[in-house]
Chains A and B, each alone.
Chain A
Amino acid sequence: MKRWIAFWNILAKDMRAYYLKPPNISWGIIFPLAWTGMFFIRSGSGLESVLELLPGVMTISILFGTTSMLAVTITFEKRSRSFERLLLAPISLEQLMLAKTSGAIVFGIVNAFVPVIIAAFLADLSGITWSLVVPAIILIGIVSTFLGLFIAVSVSEIFEAQTFSNFFRFPMIFLCGLFFPIMSLPVFIRPLSYILPVTYGVDILHGAVNGEHILSFTLDFIILGVFCIVLFILSLRNIKRRWIL
């Protein structure tokens, strides 16, 4: 029970101190809006393309929302030494890092639904398989957050975290099938797509929204789950090696 009090309070503190700040709320709304608008205008097609764009916009909102926030919250707390308070608390490192990342996961999931709400006014969403969309969004949220965590614990400065994040994020926009089908990429680049976790989440979303997917949903979910576990374990290992010297 005591550990869950700690867990909940770390999450609540982060939500209040970082995620529910006006700049972040506006970021969470404006960023997906801007991406939706950009691709909508670029595609030059009518409202029927909204559903084609939706999986990519949802994913990009989660990816940028989670990785940006974690790079700041974790790296900032490490720099200011307030993270030491958490390391001194009598809760396991696993539980502590889950508490620290839960805020980002929730933030990412909420961000993902902003384009869905916008799309609801522009297109008919009745054909979407929500039973696939919801778990896919949750898993994309978790995997993006753990990717952000992995980046945050691999560097010392906030600017390094931001730069390192972009090293992963921008190629993912083009390589993971968000807006361009993987099959349209040059053959020698395609293997890169399959080593990036977001590819599998986007595949589920495309399947659930437009009925087009490359792999089976079960395989997509399993691979996403494996990525979550591996990234979390690697991040914990990095914390132990780099932060508890």
Chain B
Amino acid sequence: MRLGSSPAIDATNLTKRYSEVIAVNSISFQIGNGELFGFLGPNGAGKTTTINLLTGLARLDAGTIKIGGIDCTGNPKAAQHLVGVVPDESNLYPELTGFENLCFCAALYGMRKNERQTRARELLETFGLTDAAERKFAGYSKGMKRKLTFAAGIIHRPPILFLDEPTTGIDVASARQVRQIITNLHRQGTTVFLTTHYIEEAERLCERIAFIVKGKIVKINRTSDLLQPVKGKNVLILSISDSEANVTEALASTFPQYQFQSSVPEQVRIESSGPVNIGPLTRFLEERGIQVTEARRHLPSLEDVFVQVTGIEAGLMLREKEKPGGGGNQ
């Protein structure tokens, strides 16, 4: 299935309220055919709600949606044949085997018996689940469940794929495999809308990224352009012994060539366009009775841009997501 010349996804002023809470607040974006687009934001930012609006699992309060050039605003069913969805939770049928689950999902898109069985076997092979094909889904490990759920989302070869936190909660090897599959799908021309809280994952995979905070898109740009402001910067992170000490002001007045930040307890972040000389800094701190326990050079990344733009500490976002119940329905 190929899309025409119109954008794969064209969302204008999407708004969604749940009682008093505005989950998605008048957001607009366009995603081109074959683009790998990332949606990055903390828990509750509105990522899943946006996917639900785009796929017809939630009703719009305002705005318009076009998928593959088809206006789905009042009729979400109109373009569902173009779309595949991998939800943030594995939601296949526990009483069916892996193979049966895939065949059933293929049948939902009208695939004939031979075609769906061949495709199911092909995907079980791709995801390394052939040996588990005849086992019931209920008995799968978490990683296997995520992989089969991913396979079910692409069983009908959709030209547009929505991935909601596809690597959350799975082991490193499975996550790598899933990322490789995303890259392959993208190379084959699939348009991918990816939500993730792993900033590094978004940076590595996505061509364009939107930062979403409290239902609003605060920044949207090509990944390379987003990284522009931090390119060539030197960043040094000092771990210090005294969490109470507020040394950034003293450091800034003594070393005006550097920028200092201390948003994480017991850490000082030093930024400079030139090299950072660590000796004078550690001596300065030790003279004030503060021990430097670690000095680490940090390569500026999308994480720095995210922190700069949103004011949200990336580590905090990650920890929040990994709490039980975190990363649920935003």
Contact = CB atoms under 8 A, between A and B. Distances in A.
Contacts of B93: 13, 17, 82
Contact of A88 (B18, B56, B107): B56
B91 A244 contact: no
B108 A91 contact: yes
Contact of A6 (B56, B83, B87, B108): B108
Interface residues of B, number: 28
A189 interface: no
Interface of B: 18, 55-59, 77, 80-81, 83, 85, 87, 89, 91-96, 104-105, 107-112, 152
A87 interface: yes
A84 B80 CA distance: 13
Contact of B104 (A2, A13, A245): A13
Nearest to A5: B110
A82 B91 contact: yes
A88 B80 contact: yes
B58 A1 contact: no
Contacts of A166: none
Contacts of A245: 18, 58-59
B87 A81 contact: yes
Which label, helix, strand, loop or mixed, suits the secondary structure of the B interface?
A: loop
A244 B58 contact: yes
A-B pairs with the 3 shortest C-beta distances?
A2-B110, A9-B107, A89-B108
A87 B92 CA distance: 13
A85 B105 contact: yes
B58 A85 contact: no
Question: Which of B83, B92, B107, B111 has the largest count of A CB atoms less than 10 A from its CB?
Answer: B107
Contacts, number: 67
Which of the four size classes fits the interface of chain A? 20 to 34
Given A17-B96, A80-B91, A84-B91, A1 B108 contact: no
B104 A81 contact: no
Contacts of A13: 93, 96, 104
Contact of B80 (A80, A90, A244): A90
Nearest to B103: A9
Contacts of A1: 110
A87 B108 contact: no
17 contacts: A1-B110, A2-B109, A6-B109, A9-B108, A17-B95, A81-B91, A82-B92, A82-B93, A84-B57, A85-B92, A85-B108, A86-B108, A88-B56, A90-B77, A90-B80, A90-B110, A91-B77
Nearest to A4: B110
A52 B33 CA distance: 68
B96 A90 contact: no
B152 A85 contact: yes
A84 B105 CA distance: 12
A161 interface: no
A3 B110 contact: yes
Contact of A5 (B18, B58, B92, B112): B112
A82 B92 CA distance: 6
